[in-house]
Amino acid sequence: MKIEKTTCPYCGASLKLSPGQKTAECEYCGSSVLITDTGSAPPDPAPADHTLQPSENQGISGKSNVTPQPAESTPGKHALFPPPGFRSGNIVHMIAAVIGYLFILSVAVNLGGLPDAVFFTIASLSVVDLCTDWTGAYARLAGLGSSNPFVRLVMKVLWSIVIFTAWIVIMVILEQF
């Protein structure tokens, strides 16, 4: 049976699986991923190259019930390249990333001077890091590991405001010297 699509829960890149495999390591971000049986078949958007032998992981429809989940005991090793938006190979993500990075660059260039531009860029990339788990630096903040997607979204917005504001405060303090 074919696994139609399996992606890394950390960066969204496609995972390569072998028959009977219980864990996988993401080629892009290096995260360890535990493969579990969900009990129901996920939708199948596109065929993939890898197959699994029929087993207890096969639902009534004959589709795979295998779902990737972050491995509890092994935190991911994070790579800086490719940056967020380019890891999954999804063209929509890439276009959105280019637009986002160009926006950050255009705002930074139009600020008062080099220190302001550098701090705005650092603050913006810190928020990108928080929202995409780019480096894993913010992975342990409260609420970001919640199983509820709404809670994760709200907490990412709140932590983004806190982090961006902290960088602005740092910039203002440094300008006083």
Q: 59-68 burial, b for 16+ CB within 10 Å, e for fewer? A: eeeebbbbbb
Q: What angle do CA 38, 148, 37 make, to 5 degrees?
A: 10
Residues 6+ apart with CB under 8 A from 82: 28
- pTM of this prediction? 0.57
Is pLDDT of 91 > 70? Answer: yes
Distance of CA 32 to the CA centre of its chain: 13
Calculate mean pLDDT across residues 43-64.
40
The one-letter amino acid at 5: K
pLDDT tier, 95 (very low <50, low <70, confident <90, very high otherwise): very high
Calculate mean pLDDT across residues 130-158.
87
Asked whether the beta carbons of 21 and 36 are under 8 A apart, the reply is no
Asked whether the beta carbons of 121 and 104 are under 8 A apart, the reply is yes
Higher-confidence residue of 5 and 51: namely: 5
**What is the reported pLDDT for 133?**
81
Lowest mean pLDDT among 15-29, 74-88, 98-112: 74-88
Average pLDDT, whole number, for the chain?
A: 75
pLDDT tier, 35 (very low <50, low <70, confident <90, very high otherwise): confident
Is pLDDT of 131 > 80? Answer: yes
**What is the reported pLDDT for 45?**
45
The one-letter amino acid at 12: G
Is pLDDT of 78 > 80? Answer: no
Domain boundaries, the chain: 1-79, 91-175
Question: Which ranges in 14-148 belong to alpha helices (H)?
Answer: 91-109, 114-132
